[in-house]
Structures are given as structure tokens and as C-alpha cells.
Chains A and B, each alone.
Chain A
Amino acid sequence: MTFLAKPKLHHPTLPKNKLGFTRRDYEGKVSTLCAGCGHDSISAALIQAFWELDIQPHRVAKMSGIGCSSKTPDYFLGQSHGFNTVHGRMPSVLTGANLANRDLIYLGVSGDGDSASIGLGQFAHVMRRGVNMTYILENNGVYGLTKGQFSATADKGSKAKKGSINADSAIDTVSLALLMGATFVARSFSGDKHQLVPLVKAAIAHQGAAFIDVISPCVAFNNHAGSTKSYEYIREHNEAVNRLDFWPTREAITVDYSAGGVIEVPTHDGSILKLRKLHEDYDPSDKINASAMIASAAVKGEVLTGLLYVAPDAEDLHAHLNTYETAFNTLGEKELCPGSAMLEKINAGLR
């Protein structure tokens, strides 16, 4: 058995972005996940989003925990920085890295086991601290890597491949992120790149804690009848509240929008989020209403997807703490070690 590297050859008309890179330049090593794993599609969506945003790969730091999902950073953005942490500890490592160097673009990649089981505490805190990052949770309802035990996001009553029924309540990571203070919250599906790619782009542009829960079927252990995280189940129960179009600048908007049903969400960096409403009464800037809608959809057995909440006036951890702007790695020894006189001064201030 061999895994062939994807041939370097590409379509003759494959376009280049502003940096002169093709989409293929944003790929990583060949995936070792199971054929048909939803996680691979998410990697493809991330590749597309970073390529479309003309982001230089070396400006990105990919952080992940443990799990099939957490392995994926190896399979995209091969030229970027990365850190594979211990299980469930990605948020704290990401937070530390972000504090030390705010110039990089932080991408957290995790699984439902990694985030909602072992890492639940870390998940909650990284959201409430408002770390500027894009947190992707590749949610398949199981521990894929350890052969398919239910994770904490598995719906109560859903059936395992071998037949056992999940008796525990599910943690809804989207509701939790909202509650914890994430300022950009979305849900999507690995099988719908038209929805996912613009969401990822908007999340990257968002200057605060951006969270996307991406339902991502595990073909090996959770894609059978009775599962609520299978391709078929999600396709049947997917309720998109809106369609997002992301425009890096106002000039770039090329689509003609008919007047009704489009909302424009302002952002800090001048990029434009245009939302085509699919649900009349869904307003993604109203957090309380968003929480209520998510909860009532869940009761109906619907999986609400789209941009669920975005706070236009988001702030991040650095703003909260009023930190020094320059990245540590560009500061000199003098700035980093200001000497005993300064230490004395600080200590005196604390007495």
C-alpha cells in the first residue's frame, strides 16, 4: 500500500492570486485520513479561502490538538507555521502564541472530542478571552482517531455504528461559544463549500474570537443510518439561515444584489459581509435572538447553519489587556529584559 503524492501537474487554466500563487501552492502533504472523510473537504475549503484572500502562507500559524481533525493542518498550507499540541490544549498554546506575536494569522483546528470532551475548559476560556483567531471545530460526533466512541457533541438518542444508543445530552458548541462571548459564530457542513468558504474568509477577517462548527461526517465510524452526523442526515436536516458573501473591499463586489433580503454587516478592516437572508426573522447581530433560534431549531431536529452571530464592534484580547503592539520576536534584549531598576519599579507598584 502506498500513498501517492498528488501530482504537481494542474489544470492549464488554474488561476493565480495577487501573490502569484495558485490554489495548489496552498496545499500540504497528502492526507492520510480515510477516503471520504469530511475533514479533507474542510482542508480543501481552507486552502481555497486562504488562496482567495491572497494571504502569504508564512503569515499563518496553524494550531491543533489531537484527533483525525487535529492531524489535518499537515494537509494544507504546507508553507505555514504549525503546532500540534497535547489533547484539548490547543486553545492555551494558541493564546500564548498570539500574545507573543499578534502579527500572525491564527488558525485553530480541533475536533469535537478535542474541544468538547477533554478540552472543554480550554475551549470556553479561549472564547471568553476573545483571542483573535479562527477556530474551526471539525465536528463528527465521535472520536474518529480512537475508532468511533461517542464524543460530547453526539446527539442524545443517536446510534453508534455497532448499535449502542447515546444516552448523554449533547454539548452544542455553537451555543456554548455564543454564551462564552465569541464575537463571530457560524455553523457549516463539510459537504457544502459554497457556504463554508465565504464563512472561513469572513472569520479570518474578523478581529476577535471567530468560531465555526463544521459538521464533518466520519465515514469510517459515523456515517450510518441512525447517526445524526452522517452525510445523508445533515443534507436532510440542514437549515441555512443565510448565505454569506465575503468581499475583502467594497470595490470588489461584482454581484448584483436585488434590494430585498440582503443585509450588510460592517467590519473593522473595511471588508464587507453581505448576507442574503434565507430565514426572514433571523438577525445575526442579535445575540439573544440567535441563541433562542438555535435552541428552538435543535428541538425541531433542524441543524441551523450559516453566519449565526457576528458582533460588529468586536475587540480582542490585546485590546482588553492593552498589550505592547510589537511582536516579542522583533524586540531587542533591552526591551524584553529592561533590567533590575525596572523590576524594582514594577514590584513597588504592586506593594
Chain B
Amino acid sequence: MQPTDIRNPDYFHKVVDCQWACPAHTPVPEYIRLIAAGRYSDAYLVNWKSNVFPGILGRTCDRPCEPACRRGRVEEAQQAKPEPVAICRLKRVTADYKDDDDVKKRIAAGKKTKSNGKKIVCIGAGPASLTVARDLAPLGYEVTVFDQDPRAGGMIWSQIPRFRLPLEVIDEEVNYILDLGVSFKQRKITSMKEVMKEGYDAIFVGSGAPRGRDLDIPGRKEGAKNIHIGIDWLSSVSFGHTTKIGKRVIVLGGGNTAMDCCRTSKRIGGEDVKVIVRSGFDEMKASPWEKEDAQHEGIPIMNFLVPKSFITQGGKLTGMTFEKVKAVYDDKGKRSLVSTGEPDQAFECDDVLVAVGQENSFPWIEKDCGIEFDKWGLPVLDKATFQASVPNVFFGGDSAFGPKNIIWAVAHGHDAAVSIDKLLNSEDLKLRPAPGVTLVSQKMGIHEWSYDNEIAGDARYKVPWADIKATLKNVKMEVELGFDVATAWKEAQRCLNCDVQTVFTDKLCIECDACVDICPMDCISFVPNAEEEVLRKNLNAPATNLTQDLYVSGPLKTMRVMAKDEDVCLHCGLCAERCPTGAWDMQKFLAEMTYAGDGCRNHQNQKKKAA
């Protein structure tokens, strides 16, 4: 193998599994260390900069970082249940224990009083638009956000039930943004052409994927009064229009919306609530923890049942029938659901909530306004810049590539903001600077590091819950209580500080084997060089996780190379402590993502002017 080029900013970034997996690349270990140090406000602001909604995301994020977290792999075969660090719930800790006034002041300090004369409009006030606004307003842009709803927040506010996310948390974090001088107005946009005529320098569409899929099976019309589209019903509950549901409720669908529907039903009159899903339990789209939460509240999840008809009597819904199916896989591994041949199954019910998917819909964008759509009805966009076929129109969040989640909407928002800033500075949108990275040695003395390199053996801590009897009675009462300070500290200790990198200097190595001998995880080998495939097998412990890189040095004095499997490194620094020559060093890697503003610009236009 060629020696690893550690100057490539992606190399060490990938080693920080959580940060790499986070769509907004939140520097997770950085904020976890700040929590451990009791610096909650600083930890909050590290988050706020990257993901804009720490308190909201700390309760609701889809947390792609957690399945990626190294801790889960490291605990394999040695902890009864190997689990990642509770990254998401530690994020909530930063919001819960920060000094509110201090944070408010520090955020407000970014407010620009002088306009740069450029006007931006965001359509829809969900997380994507709010991120664009947050990134651009401090640069002097005049940002206006329109939403058909009276409050900003988008689906964060209209869909996510209050027992998962209290209103105050939304208000606080939405206001941090609006207080930067962003103007929010309730207005339902009915014509894109009209907006285009209003003189904005750039238009950002963050209107989400607002249409819930329906289920067109026999009995749908007859039972219509008691058949509800999940997302419409949830927003109606959020807005206080709906306050009751029948005693027996069937929720159709296996995604997160279905989980919110069933748990909400249970709180406003549903007694016998069940979720019925076409697919198997493991293939359901809902996150594992949401399924667990629903089951914990006594809601059964029934699988492999395909809805066949609504049963009505005298124009009133009385139940549903389902066909029993099983999963069959063809030789390519593709799954299909086929009938088991057993008789259909019928369930009685008073109400049905249909949560079988969401779609995009842009009835207000005229076909002839210049914005192209593909055959699935999604806008044709540049995947990196989010630019539409009309150069000053950008899409982001669920409206760009279909329904995803909040953290993706935020990530899109950052990127779109960069594009807008570059466009309005006459720059090439495609020339986007790589993140700035720094590597700083953590050595303070012999056996002394500026990070805590002791590895905690604790299993993951559970977030305590409010009394289930109380929460099931009140749709607004938050279920999770969040970590207390002591537990948060203990959970923070589980983080392995994957950003503190093992950096190897081959010229200094005397091949004494000290690092090999001390490494608890058998990460390091000195071996004859070979192709990656061969090398992976020849290491002290086989490197079978192909998603994790091998760090390979140049040839050493014996003509062997140092090869380190990054997979299960504890970042404990023992290799560096045991190295007599300092060939190993522990260096903190920090990736400074590229945001709108001076850092994102290449200044080609200025060069042009100078030339």
C-alpha cells in the first residue's frame, strides 16, 4: 500500500466516526469533553454552530452518529449489550444545563446591524430555511422567512408531538435565529412567479414534503370520517384542533410518523391502540428506540399484515381486514411479500390513522417558471450546491430530495447558504473550499496528556423517564427527563475521544515493538508491505471492517511498514506513552466546516478585478 496521506483532511475526519456520520459534521468528542468539564454553555455553542438546534436535536435527532460510534464496536464481545455513546442525549445535556443568559448574549453578538443590501427569501420555516437564515443574517443579508403557519419551526413544531419535544424548547431555539434580525411572516405562497417578481436576490425553498400518502382500498370513502392521514392528524393535535380519538385505534405504517401517531392516540382517548405493518419488525423504518418507546407504552406492533379493506356498517368504520404475508428473498437478496395462503385477519376499530409515507408536492410552483422537475416530481438540483435550474433558486431539506430528517435539513441549509453567499459575491458555486483542519499535539509531559485518556468500562446509561401513568394522561408532558449532571458526566466518560488522533512519524521509529506490546486492541502491526487486501489479513488482529481505513507508514529501517487498523482504536494514547522516540503522538484533530461568509469564498472575482 502507499503510505497514508494524513494531510488529506478527510483521513482523520473519517476516524472521528460520529462526526463523519453526522450530516452537519458536529464535532462530537469536542462537546462531550466540554460536558465532562462542566462547560455546558461552551458545549452548547459548539453544537449550535454545527447543528443549529441542540435542544431540539438532543431530543429528536435520528442520530446517524450513534450506529457509527466506535464505542459500540469496541464493546463487542465484552459488554452484554454493546452500545454507542449516548451522543444525542448528551447534546440535550448541553441545552439543559447551559447558562441561558450567557448563551443568548453570545449568540446575539453575531447580529449584524448593517445590511449588505441583499435580500433573501426562504419559503417555509422549517429547519432547512431557518439554517439558511441563521447562516446568512449575521453576514448582513436581509432574510425574510414565509410560512403558511403562524409560527416558525416547520414540522418540528407541527408534527413532532409535545411529549417528545416541549414547545418552550422549540421557541427558544427558533427565537435565537429570528433575533438575529430575520423577519418571519405568516404567508401562504401560492405562486412562485409572484415571489420571483418581488425582487429577492436569492430564493430558498424549504417547504418540506407536506403530503401524507393515502391508502386507496375498499371502504376508504365510506369510512372517511374515521380514517385520518397521519401527518395531518398530528398537526391538528399539535395545533389543538383535535383533542380526542376513539377507544380502539389502528395505526397503519412502520415509520416514525406511525410511532408518533400511536403514542399520541394512547394519550388522547385511545385504549386499545395497535400498529399494523406490512413488513417485518426489523425492516420497519422507525428507529429502534422509537419502536421500543411505543412498546414500552403498551402498544403492540403487528407485522406482515397488508391492509385489504376498511369495514364499515351504515357508513361508519368498524374495522379492517388484512392479508397475511411472509417475506421471500430472490437470489439477488431482493425482498417481496407474498401471501401465506392463510385466511385474512380482521380487527375491529373506531379510528384508523394512515401513516404510510410522505410525498413532495409543489402545486404553487408554476410549470413555466423555469424550475425543472424530474419524473418523481422532485426539483432538478445540483447535488452539492442545491441550485435549481433557475440560478438564484435553491432547495433544501425535505423539499430537495424527499423526506429525511431535521439534521439533514440543517446540513442542506448550511450548504445552500454557502451557495447563496458565493452566488451573490459572483463566485463559482462549485469551487467550495475543503474544511479547514488543525492537528495539535496533546502531550504535556511524560504520561500526561491534555485530554483524559483513561478508558471507562461503563455500559451505556439510560435516560430516566417520567412516571408512565402521568405521561400517558397528558399529551404535552415530556416523557424523557434527560440525564442529571452526575450521569451525564459518567456517560461522557464513555466517549473515546476519537478526534485525538494517533499520528505516526516513520523517521523516528526504531521498531522496538513497544507500541505493539502495549496496545490493548492489537491495532498496530509491523509487517512487510503488501496490497491492502493481503495486509488486512496479515495484521496482529485481522482488519475485517472494510469501512475503516488502514493507516500505513512509509518503509522503516527493516523495510517493513507500520500498519494500524483504525477500527477499534481506543485513542488511549498508550502507544504514544510507550514510544521512546515520540514516533507516536496524540494530536487533536479539529475540522472547521465551511460555512457561508468569508471562509467559503475563493475570491476569484477579486483576483479578476486585480488582474
Q: What residues of chain A have their CB less than 8 Å away from a CB belonging to chain B?
A: 1-4, 6-14, 24, 34-38, 40-41, 43-44, 190-191, 193, 217, 219, 223, 231-232, 235
Q: Is the CB of B74 within 8 A of A9?
A: yes
| Residues on the B chain within 8 Å of A4, using CB | 447, 453-454, 572, 574, 577
Q: Closest CB of chain B to A122's CB: distance in Å? A: 30
Q: Is the CB of A191 within 8 A of B513?
A: yes
Q: List 30 A-B contacts (CB under 8 A).
A: A1-B448, A2-B448, A4-B577, A6-B518, A6-B520, A8-B520, A10-B521, A11-B521, A11-B522, A11-B568, A12-B76, A13-B77, A13-B541, A14-B541, A35-B514, A35-B577, A35-B578, A35-B580, A38-B512, A40-B578, A41-B517, A43-B517, A190-B512, A190-B513, A191-B511, A219-B510, A219-B512, A219-B580, A231-B510, A235-B557
A345 to B446, CA, bound (A): 67
Contact of A13 among B511, B542, B580 (CB under 8 A): B542
B56-99 interface (Cβ within 8 A of A): 73-78
B579 contacts A by Cβ under 8 Å: yes
Q: Closest CB of chain A to B453's CB: distance in Å? A: 7
| Residues on the A chain within 8 Å of B544, using CB | 13
Q: Is the CB of B77 within 8 A of A41?
A: no
| Residues on the B chain within 8 Å of A3, using CB | 447
Q: Is the CB of B580 within 8 A of A36?
A: yes
A8 to B520, CA, bound (A): 7
| Residues on the A chain within 8 Å of B523, using CB | 11
B440 contacts A by Cβ under 8 Å: no
A4 to B576, CA, bound (A): 13
Residue from A7, A217, A219, A235 having most chain B Cβ neighbours under 10 A: A7
B570 contacts A by Cβ under 8 Å: yes
B4 contacts A by Cβ under 8 Å: no
Taking CB as reference atom, which chain B residue is nearest A219? B580
Number of A-B contacts (CB under 8 A): 102
Binary A-proximity of B492-525 (CB < 8 A = 1, otherwise 0): 0000000000000000001111101110111100
| Residues on the B chain within 8 Å of A8, using CB | 78, 457, 520
Taking CB as reference atom, which chain A residue is nearest B512? A36
On whether A217 and B520 interact (CB within 8 A), knowing A4-B572, A36-B581, the answer reads no
Taking CB as reference atom, which chain A residue is nearest B77? A12
Q: Is the CB of A10 within 8 A of B520?
A: yes
B117 contacts A by Cβ under 8 Å: no
Q: Is the CB of A1 within 8 A of B445?
A: yes
B6 contacts A by Cβ under 8 Å: no
B313 contacts A by Cβ under 8 Å: no
* Known contacts A44-B513, A190-B512, A232-B510; 12 further A-B pairs (Cβ under 8 A): A1-B447, A4-B454, A8-B520, A9-B75, A12-B73, A13-B77, A13-B544, A35-B580, A40-B518, A41-B512, A41-B513, A235-B557
In order of increasing CB-CB distance, the 6 nearest A-B pairs are A36-B580, A7-B455, A44-B517, A12-B76, A12-B77, A11-B541
B547 contacts A by Cβ under 8 Å: no
Q: Is the CB of A9 within 8 A of B457?
A: yes
Q: Is the CB of B572 within 8 A of A191?
A: no
| Residues on the B chain within 8 Å of A6, using CB | 518, 520, 574
| Residues on the A chain within 8 Å of B445, using CB | 1
Q: Is the CB of A231 within 8 A of B514?
A: no
B8 contacts A by Cβ under 8 Å: no
Q: Closest CB of chain A to B494's CB: distance in Å? A: 11
A133 to B406, CA, bound (A): 68
B535-573 interface (Cβ within 8 A of A): 541-542, 544, 557-558, 568, 570, 572
Q: Is the CB of B514 within 8 A of A36?
A: yes
Q: Closest CB of chain A to B583's CB: distance in Å? A: 10
On whether A14 and B522 interact (CB within 8 A), knowing A7-B455, A36-B512, the answer reads yes
On whether A235 and B518 interact (CB within 8 A), knowing A2-B447, A193-B513, the answer reads no
Taking CB as reference atom, which chain B residue is nearest A44? B517
A217 to B511, CA, bound (A): 12
| Residues on the A chain within 8 Å of B512, using CB | 36, 38, 41, 190-191, 217, 219, 231
| Residues on the A chain within 8 Å of B541, using CB | 11, 13-14
Taking CB as reference atom, which chain A residue is nearest B521? A11
Q: Closest CB of chain A to B83's CB: distance in Å? A: 14
Contact of A12 among B457, B511, B513, B568 (CB under 8 A): B568
A260 to B261, CA, bound (A): 76
| Residues on the A chain within 8 Å of B577, using CB | 4, 35
Q: Closest CB of chain B to A190's CB: distance in Å? A: 7
Residue from B511, B512, B572, B577 having most chain A Cβ neighbours under 10 A: B512
A40 to B580, CA, bound (A): 12
Residue from A10, A11, A190, A219 having most chain B Cβ neighbours under 10 A: A11
A44 to B457, CA, bound (A): 24
B442-461 interface (Cβ within 8 A of A): 445-448, 453-455, 457
Taking CB as reference atom, which chain A residue is nearest B79? A9
Taking CB as reference atom, which chain A residue is nearest B577? A35
A36 to B78, CA, bound (A): 29
| Residues on the B chain within 8 Å of A219, using CB | 510, 512, 580
| Residues on the A chain within 8 Å of B574, using CB | 4, 6
| Residues on the B chain within 8 Å of A44, using CB | 513, 516-517
Q: Closest CB of chain B to A236's CB: distance in Å? A: 9
Q: Is the CB of A35 within 8 A of B579?
A: yes
Residue from B74, B517, B541 having most chain A Cβ neighbours under 10 A: B517
Q: Closest CB of chain B to A189's CB: distance in Å? A: 11
A13 to B513, CA, bound (A): 21
A9 to B574, CA, bound (A): 13
A10 to B572, CA, bound (A): 12
On whether A41 and B514 interact (CB within 8 A), knowing A3-B447, A10-B521, A11-B522, the answer reads yes
Q: Is the CB of A235 within 8 A of B558?
A: yes
Q: Is the CB of A36 within 8 A of B578?
A: yes
A4 to B572, CA, bound (A): 9
| Residues on the B chain within 8 Å of A1, using CB | 445-448
Contact of B78 among A10, A35, A40, A193 (CB under 8 A): A10
Residue from B453, B457, B518 having most chain A Cβ neighbours under 10 A: B518
Q: Is the CB of B572 within 8 A of A7?
A: yes
| Residues on the B chain within 8 Å of A41, using CB | 512-514, 517
| Residues on the B chain within 8 Å of A7, using CB | 455, 457, 520, 570, 572
A163 to B272, CA, bound (A): 89
| Residues on the B chain within 8 Å of A190, using CB | 512-513
A8 to B521, CA, bound (A): 9
A4 to B510, CA, bound (A): 24
| Residues on the A chain within 8 Å of B447, using CB | 1-4
Taking CB as reference atom, which chain A residue is nearest B568? A11
Binary A-proximity of B521-533 (CB < 8 A = 1, otherwise 0): 1110000000000
Q: Is the CB of B518 within 8 A of A12?
A: no
Taking CB as reference atom, which chain B residue is nearest A1? B447
Taking CB as reference atom, which chain A residue is nearest B453? A4
Q: Is the CB of A36 within 8 A of B520?
A: no
| Residues on the A chain within 8 Å of B455, using CB | 7, 9
Taking CB as reference atom, which chain A residue is nearest B545? A12
| Residues on the A chain within 8 Å of B580, using CB | 34-37, 219
Taking CB as reference atom, which chain B residue is nearest A4? B454
| Residues on the A chain within 8 Å of B457, using CB | 7-9
Residue from B457, B520, B572 having most chain A Cβ neighbours under 10 A: B520
A46 to B542, CA, bound (A): 22
Q: Closest CB of chain B to A23's CB: distance in Å? A: 9
Binary A-proximity of B299-326 (CB < 8 A = 1, otherwise 0): 0000000000000000000000000000
| Residues on the A chain within 8 Å of B74, using CB | 9, 12
A231 to B511, CA, bound (A): 8
Q: Closest CB of chain B to A101's CB: distance in Å? A: 31
| Residues on the A chain within 8 Å of B581, using CB | 36
